[in-house]
Homo-oligomer: A and B are copies of this chain.
């Protein structure tokens, strides 16, 4: 890994450890994080400080990955996916802008795919699981599980998905 600082045409990468063969497209806003080998990051992605992203991940456009989120290796994140790192967000506290929000963690394990438009509340998503597009994940997901819906429920294993992939 090497430390990257770049604020050039259409690209902001600050104080970030970047692995080999990483691809980062235009209009990104990435700072204080770590990105593993071969990972591909589309345009219009924000990754905040403290985030760790493993190798061989793919992240599609319009995704913000905030503090407290970790993606292991081989994770797919579809377009417009939301990671939430605070279940009870408020803007104002005692008449002032809030500065005390409690960060909660999300861990997305090896080989997980999260479909476009899904919303992920703080949780752990087990290895090889798949979150269907448009789902709202409110709690931990066991490994090898296909989940879908609002809120997301386990509807089976991911065997068929992985065969068709």
Chain A residues within CB distance 8 Å of chain B? 7, 9-10, 12, 25-27, 29, 38-40, 42-44, 46, 55-58, 60-62, 64, 73-76, 78-80, 82-84, 87-93, 95-98, 101, 111, 113, 115-117, 119, 121, 133-134, 136, 149-150, 161-162, 164-165
Contact = CB atoms under 8 A, between A and B. Distances in A.
Contacts of A61: 46, 64
Contacts of A64: 42, 44, 60-62, 79-80
Given A44-B29, A92-B56, A149-B150, A117 B82 contact: yes
A113 B89 contact: yes
Contact of A113 (B73, B91, B115): B91
